[in-house]
Chains A and B, each alone.
Chain A
Amino acid sequence: MTYRSIVLVKQVPDTRHVTGEVMTADGTMNRSALPAIFNPEDLHALEMALQVKEQYGGTVTVLTMGPLQATETLRQALYRGADQVILVSDRKFAGADTQATSYTLKCAIDRLGAFDLVFCGRQAIDGDTAQVGPQVAEKLGVPQITYAESILSLADGEIVVQRAFERGTEIVQCTLPCLLTVTASANQPRPPSVRQRIACKEAAAPGEYPALLQKYPAYASAEALDADLARRGLKIPVWGAADLTVDESLLGLGGSPTQVHKINFVVLETTESKEIPPTPQGIHGLIEELVREYVIG
């Protein structure tokens, strides 16, 4: 028995390393100072899918919804061993909240056809909602196993998973197909393989051909490049609204029940603060003051 796995990934701005340089004095953000990265927990989801493939056989298909630049995340997935990658991209998908995003992903999965397992990271670091996984599962009509830590067995149309719950861990058994959201403690994601990197570095979506033609002048035309990439399995398919069976009223901003009323940049009221010099005398003074004010015993 082999398993058809789908991994949902997201390219995100690296919000973990926001420092004084990124935040400007008026509380706004210098977004260009934040690099776009593979959402960290999605790497753990991909790793779990790749391990299923290695142990039981099958395929790993990676889907991402996002702008053209998100192909970089798909190439990263190819370098790690994904069999097939697809960019789900259309202006009509823009501005989607989790409800519209999960609907779009569900429609893309429908187009892929039958599957056994869907893997997602527990949550993405730009929104921290952890909502898209369960919402995709609901829309597909399959069970969800959130906070999955390891797959203990996979046989006879059933999966046994160890997952984190409120007060510890539990072992659950579930029928296939199902969706898993994977935590960072699940595994150690593999680095990109050098061999795969060399083999797949030209993988590109048609929107990237102009840049690629400049980089590789040997190709006579976009058609020649397209034919060559397609032959080598390196053409990244882009699925837009027209390529999916969708109700357009449920896509993007218009299909999102939630709307942003306002955004406040965070300008904190500065607390009255006292600067303590990092010297033995300074630290002694601080401890004495904390004792004097009954903050510490």
Chain B
Amino acid sequence: MTEKRDVWVFIEQDDGQIAEVSLELLGKARELAGTLGSQVCALLFGHQVAHLAESLIQHGADVVLLADHPELEMYRTLPYCRVAADLVRQRQPYIFLLGASPNGRDLAPRIASAVQAGLTADCTDLQIGDYTIKKENRLCKDLLYQIRPAFGGNLIATIVNPNTRPQMATVREGVMQPLPLDPGRTGVVEPVTPHFEPGDFALCVLSRQVRPSSVHLKDAPVIVAGGAGVGSAEEFELVRQLANLLGGEVGASRAAVDAGLISREYQVGQTGTTVRPRLYVAAGISGAVQHRAGMDQSNKIVAINTDPEAPIFQVAHYKIVGDLGKVLPLLIQALKEKSR
């Protein structure tokens, strides 16, 4: 039997707005499908969202499977899982990618369980390559290498699913690059009819409160981030002051978030936001791969840490070994003097 080897991307949309991560995944899927000689198929679910299909094609999709239904208007796990799992069973894609957004991380494992597929969370890279199952001495060609930090980000693991299809992975926003929009690209939009079961509506959304997003880490030109080395709320205030003076945003490592110094939406790294600012100041951040994976592409990195062996220094352009309680005030003072 020859597999079709299609690459699927779940398109996340909310209120008719396509999530950035979905476009990034289409770009990666295009590259993978090019290597495999197969097609990119976008799964677009929602209500009255047909007009979004064109843009998906222009971003790299060959086929858009469109499930347009009132029950799909707002994201809910069970109806979305029903439609996606049914499509997977009918059409057997080779690879199925979803964003590692809150919804993607809610949906992907449920689908994977329903179709008995292997799933890797939060990949930072995807490649096509070969794998030998040692026990059977069997070579599997052209598998999806699902590459992700593991063990708190201190190791990089390459995961494969040799025996199950689709090969599923979630990918965090900001890691892949979307293709430039190509208005000349053509593709097929194929409507599909969902078949729900009564149990799919066990959960209903009573109300929603949209939080006005005040955190713009992804596009910030300057980020000053605090980590475990920030001992107190007072010291974190210094991080904020410096960020303000530099016209930038405040960021944080997971340790600072876990310590309750700042809320989770400020977290930079593998389980937070991936950033590429012009200047990144890491204050009291030891630099687990977790964190570095989210910021090491920054143009210039200044790291402040008391431990001269801290891994953060390996990616820093400017290394300051010292107590941030002393160094941050010096930076703040120097900037204030400069602007005088």
Listed in ascending order, the chain A residues whose CB lies under 8 Å from chain B are 13, 15-20, 22-23, 29, 40, 97-99, 102, 125-135, 137-139, 141, 143-147, 160, 164-175, 178, 184-185, 256-266, 268-280, 282-284, 286-287, 290-291, 293, 295-297
Contact = CB atoms under 8 A, between A and B. Distances in A.
Contacts of B206: 160, 170-173
Interface in B276-316: 278-279, 286, 288-289, 292, 296, 299-302, 304, 307, 309-311, 313-316
Contacts of B322: 278
A160 to B, nearest CB: 7
Interface string B160-191: 11111000000000000000000000000000
B108 to A, nearest CB: 8
B30 interface: no
A25 to B, nearest CB: 9
A290 B105 CA distance: 39
Contact of A127 (B150, B162, B314, B315): B150
A135 B112 contact: yes
B110 A138 contact: yes
B334 A287 contact: yes
A185 B260 CA distance: 9
Nearest to B156: A264
B51 interface: no
Given A127-B150, A138-B110, A147 B258 contact: no
A165 B208 contact: yes
B159 A15 contact: no
B118 interface: yes
Given A18-B288, A263-B155, A276-B320, A268 B311 contact: yes
Contacts of B296: 268
Contacts of A145: 203
Given A99-B113, A172-B206, A276-B320, A296 B152 contact: no
Contacts of B263: 185
A197 B338 CA distance: 59
Interface in B241-292: 246-247, 254-255, 258, 263-264, 270-271, 278-279, 286, 288-289, 292
Contact of A178 (B202, B301, B310, B317): B202
Contact of B279 (A184, A258, A259, A290): A290
Contacts of B162: 259
Interface stretch (B61-69, B87-95, B209-217, B231-239): B209-217
